[in-house]
Structure formats: C-alpha cells, structure tokens
Amino acid sequence: MSRAADQAPSATPVLAAPSPVGLVAVMPDQAGNLGAILRTAACLRAPVHVVEPCGFAFSPKAWRRSAMDYAGLAAIHRHASWAAFLAARGAARLVALTAHGQASLWEARFAPGDLLLLGSESAGLPAAALAAADLGLRIPLHPQARSLNIAVAGAIALAEAQRQLRA
C-alpha cells in the first residue's frame, strides 16, 4: 500500500445543514447513555428531545458533564412529561426503536421531520409511547442477542435515516 493511501484526508467532511431527523430520549435512566445520545446528536446535527422524568438529576450542568464539550453543540429540548412532548411535537412522525418493532430498520423509509423514540435502558419505551408511535422499527440482531445499548441503537437508526435523506 502506498504511503498516500495510509494518510488521512486533509479535511473532515462537514454536515452543512441540520439533520432532517431527531432523537427523543423517553425517560432515560442512565446519565452516561443520555450523554452518548447528546454527543451523537451534536456530531450529526440532530435535535434531541428529552422527556422527563429522568432516572437521574437532569440539568444543564449534568448534561454538560455527561456529553462533555459536545453539549454546547447539541440542540436540546426538554419536556416535563410525555404529554408535554406530545403537545409540542407538531405533525412529526414518531418512529419507535423497539426489539418488538413490526418492521426492520433496513426496510424503513424515513421522512424529513421523523422523530426516533428511544426508551430507557432498563424498561424500554413506556406503553404510551409505543401506542403513540406511527411506526415501530427493530434493528436485526444475532438470534442469541437480546438488545443493543439504547445510545448505540439511536446512533445506528439516526445514521441510516440521514443516509437516506441526505443522499
């Protein structure tokens, strides 16, 4: 292999426009996972809606600590409850990421404005969120695997949605 092929490109690709798809962390229970979600969303320019209550103290100080220096890049929207989120969501399609989704992520066709619902690590999405979802998606896994970390699942789905919509 040539030396030139081993060298990284001189410029990192830049996302010029905000993401056409957002993430919704519904009652997250682990600060570290929410930090990873915020960092992913900041890097991919996606808005993040945090539906409370959280299983930890959630404040600007806490999200700056968990998302490190990326928190300032994230577009974070707080909602005091699921009902408050629904009232603020507008006409966005709600896409639930769930191990019991009726369709595979790879079969899904995303639309601008979609909001990807992520449940808590311990309990998944609450029944009200699953009932409100317009579409339930699962990420195909090894047959002996139960689930992915919620932040990883959100990153995979967000990347797939952006791949489709930014093409």
Domains of the chain with CATH codes: 29-166 (3.40.1280.10)
How many Å separate Cα 25 from the centre of its chain? 7
Do the annotations mark residue 90 as ligand-binding?
no
Q: Which residue numbers in the chain have pLDDT < 70? A: 1-16, 63-68, 167
Q: What's the whole-model pTM score?
A: 0.88
Do the annotations mark residue 35 as ligand-binding?
no
Do the annotations mark residue 156 as ligand-binding?
no
pLDDT of 167 reads 60
Do the annotations mark residue 117 as ligand-binding?
no
pLDDT of 68 reads 67
Question: Distance between CA atoms of 67 and 75, rounded to whole angstroms?
Answer: 12
pLDDT of 85 reads 97
